[in-house]
Amino acid sequence: MDFDLAVIADNWRFLAYGVLVTIVLSIVSGATSLAAGLALALLRLRGPRWLRPLIVLYVDSMRAVPVLVVLVWTFFALPIVTGLTMSPFTAALIGLTVHLAAYAAEIVRAGIESVRPGQTRAAVALGMSPAQVMRRIVLPQALVRMLPAFGSLLSITIKDTAIASVIAVPELMRQSETVAGQSFQPIEVFTFAMLLYFVLLFPVTRGVDAVYRRVAHLGRS
Amino acid sequence: MTFDWSVVWQHRDALAAGTAMTFALTVATMAIAVPAGIVVAVLRLYGPAPLRVAATAYVELFRNLPLILVVYWAFYVVPILTGLGLSALATGLAALSLNVTAYNAETFRAGINSIRRGQSEAAMALGMSRSQALRRVVVPQALRRITPVLASTWVSLFKDTSLVSVIAVSELAYVSMQLRAQTFRVLEMLTAMAVLYWLLGYPQAKLVDWIQRRYQVTE
């Protein structure tokens, strides 16, 4: 069995575009789901009471439904319901954000709840408003504790972008499928894709571990 | 735009068969991945150096690859590499098992490592061999910590079976999308698929929560 690397050399630009789309989609959906998760967790912990069961329902629903189903529904069914047409990238972004924000919300909630109540009480005793308590005392400690879980979530985000290939987002998985289909050389192409994903993912978790070890003491209380 | 929700009821048999296949895949994968995960974890903790490295490499590899890529790779590459002509179902099962075994191996390793060393030291001081100490003292305690994580992995696996739809295995996602193509009822079928997964997955998620509360270990 000979490995013909020419197919990769010929199509590297096409595959590189896929890597770019993967990275962009991961970063943007990671950022939006983080922001949404933070907002949801704060609403759940400090917001109106009636909102809480709705947020719990949303979070538990995202634990129940696969990413594939969310992405396919967002791309094919949402335009029917809303009348908006969207590009595959936009649909993937929306779908991934909706799915991952639930996990992000749980991570943020766990982080905030892990900060000792004594901290909050002391801050209130010093005359801080609830917003100040959250912003200046609780969140800085909580965010440090959440880092390893966020690293794990980023890793999951990058892996989930590969599922967006099903709705024809031109990310790495999709580009690899196209090249493999056209060249009839799936071994070289898919093995190369595996290598690329590994190179993308391995440093993410290791990097987050390394950063966390440096800043872990800041989350102490 | 008219919606015809009766198509869902009309094709309930196909959807039920898809659901059964999803469950079957989940059960079969766990049946393979739990023993395999134990083997890999034990190799990684107590094996000779080359096997330890191999086990670590295996776990790190599959934790850093998207499952959908593993499914495609198994489907297109394995038949060429090995000459085996496996069905799509067997290929999907193999890909899922490889992936979940890696996660399980990490779970078992973490569970065993979480039991204080003093336990195995005391067991060996009492005259037990290493494997006896492992089997009779460490593992029974570790099981309590492993069970909630394993339950969580089960729910993830249940969702991940939807990914083998890309190689035309007739589980729920594939059946739903085929029906969508046949009936042209996009919103109805896709919503039915989402609702079915929700109905199946939500109780499982809640059960996992209960298991985690019940078996929680507080030191």
Collapsing DSSP to helix, strand or coil, B123 comes out as helix
Q: What is the pLDDT along chain B (219 residues), one digit of tens a residue?
A: 678 888 888 999 999 999 999 999 999 999 999 999 999 999 999 889 999 999 999 999 999 999 999 999 999 888 887 888 889 999 999 999 999 999 999 999 999 998 888 998 999 999 999 888 888 998 888 888 899 999 999 999 999 999 999 999 999 999 999 999 999 989 999 999 999 999 999 999 999 999 988 887 766
Q: Does A58 touch chain B (CB under 8 A)?
A: no
| In-domain check, residue A99 | yes
Tokens of B185: 């009822």
According to the model, what pLDDT value does residue B53 have?
Answer: 95
| A67 phi and psi angles, rounded to 5 deg | -60, -40
According to the model, what pLDDT value does residue A185 have?
Answer: 87
Q: If pLDDT is split at 50, 70 and 90, which confidence band does A217 have?
A: confident
| In-domain check, residue B219 | no
HSE-CB at B44 with a 13 A cutoff on CA atoms is 23
According to the model, what pLDDT value does residue A4 have?
Answer: 76
CA distance B196 to B142: 35
Q: Does A84 touch chain B (CB under 8 A)?
A: no
Angle at CA of residue B213, ends A42 and A117, nearest 5°: 40
| In-domain check, residue B153 | yes
Q: If pLDDT is split at 50, 70 and 90, which confidence band does A2 have?
A: low
Pick from A197, A147, A156: nearest CA to B103: A156
HSE-CB at A8 with a 13 A cutoff on CA atoms is 13
According to the model, what pLDDT value does residue B98 have?
Answer: 95
CA distance A163 to chain B (A): 6
CATH number at residue A29: 1.10.3720.10
| In-domain check, residue A63 | yes
Nearest by CB to B198, which of A61, A155, A160?
A: A61
Q: Got the DSSP string for A75-104?
A: IIIHHHHH-----HHHHHHHHHHHHHHHHH
Tokens of A131: 């917003």
A22, A26, A72, A174: which to substitute to probe chain B, counting the most B Cβ within 10 Å? A72
According to the model, what pLDDT value does residue B219 have?
Answer: 63
Work out how many domains chain A is built from and give that number. 1
Contacts of residue A145, Cβ cutoff 8 Å, sequence gap at least 6: A111, A114, A115, A219
Q: Does A125 touch chain B (CB under 8 A)?
A: no
Looking at beta carbons, which residues of chain B come within 8 Å of A195? Answer: none
| In-domain check, residue A30 | yes
| In-domain check, residue A1 | no
Q: How far apart are the first and last CA of chain B?
A: 59
HSE-CB at A107 with a 13 A cutoff on CA atoms is 23
CA distance B65 to chain A (A): 6
**Contact check, Cβ <8 Å, A187/B205:** no
- Indicate if the pLDDT at residue A205 is higher than 90: no
According to the model, what pLDDT value does residue B1 have?
Answer: 63
Q: If pLDDT is split at 50, 70 and 90, which confidence band does A17 have?
A: very high
Query: Which ipTM value was assigned to this complex?
Result: 0.90
| In-domain check, residue B33 | yes
CA distance B82 to B67: 21
According to the model, what pLDDT value does residue B171 have?
Answer: 94
CA distance B77 to A180: 11
CA distance A132 to chain B (A): 32
HSE-CB at A155 with a 13 A cutoff on CA atoms is 23
Looking at beta carbons, which residues of chain B come within 8 Å of A60? Answer: 202, 205-206
Domain with B179 in it? 6-214
CA distance B62 to B106: 11
Find the DSSP H helices in A47-66.
Answer: 51-64
Q: Got the DSSP string for A146-166?
A: HHHHHHHHHHHHHHHHGGGGG
CB B215 within 8 A of CB B147: yes
CATH number at residue B189: 1.10.3720.10
Looking at beta carbons, which residues of chain A come within 8 Å of B65? Answer: 159, 194, 197-198, 201
Nearest by CB to A198, which of B65, B186, B205?
A: B65
- Indicate if the pLDDT at residue A1 is higher than 60: no
State chain A's mean pLDDT as an integer: 92
CA distance A145 to chain B (A): 19
Q: Does A190 touch chain B (CB under 8 A)?
A: yes
Collapsing DSSP to helix, strand or coil, A74 comes out as helix
| In-domain check, residue A186 | yes
Looking at beta carbons, which residues of chain B come within 8 Å of A80? Answer: 1, 186-187
According to the model, what pLDDT value does residue A136 have?
Answer: 92
B contact set with A (CB within 8 A): 1, 60-61, 64-69, 72-73, 76-77, 80-81, 155, 159-160, 162-163, 165-166, 173, 177, 180, 186-187, 190-191, 193-194, 197-198, 200-202, 204-206
Domain with A49 in it? 6-219
| In-domain check, residue B1 | no
Question: Mind listing the pLDDT tens digit for each residue in A41-81?
Answer: 999 998 899 999 999 999 999 999 999 999 999 999 999 99
More confident call, A12 vs B83: A12
CA distance A159 to A194: 11
According to the model, what pLDDT value does residue A215 have?
Answer: 83
CA distance A52 to A41: 10
Nearest by CB to B202, which of A60, A72, A73?
A: A60
- A137: DSSP letter: I
According to the model, what pLDDT value does residue B39 have?
Answer: 93
According to the model, what pLDDT value does residue B81 have?
Answer: 79
CA distance A215 to A218: 6
Q: If pLDDT is split at 50, 70 and 90, which confidence band does A211 have?
A: confident
Residue type, B217: V
**A160 to chain B: nearest residue by CA?**
B66
Exposure string for B203-213, b = 16+ CB within 10 A, e = fewer = ebbeebeebee
Angle at CA of residue A17, ends A91 and A211, nearest 5°: 80
According to the model, what pLDDT value does residue A165 have?
Answer: 95
**Contact check, Cβ <8 Å, B76/A190:** yes
B61, B68, B156: which to substitute to probe chain A, counting the most A Cβ within 10 Å? B68
In terms of Cβ atoms closer than 10 Å to its own Cβ (0-12, 13-18, 19+), residue B169 is buried
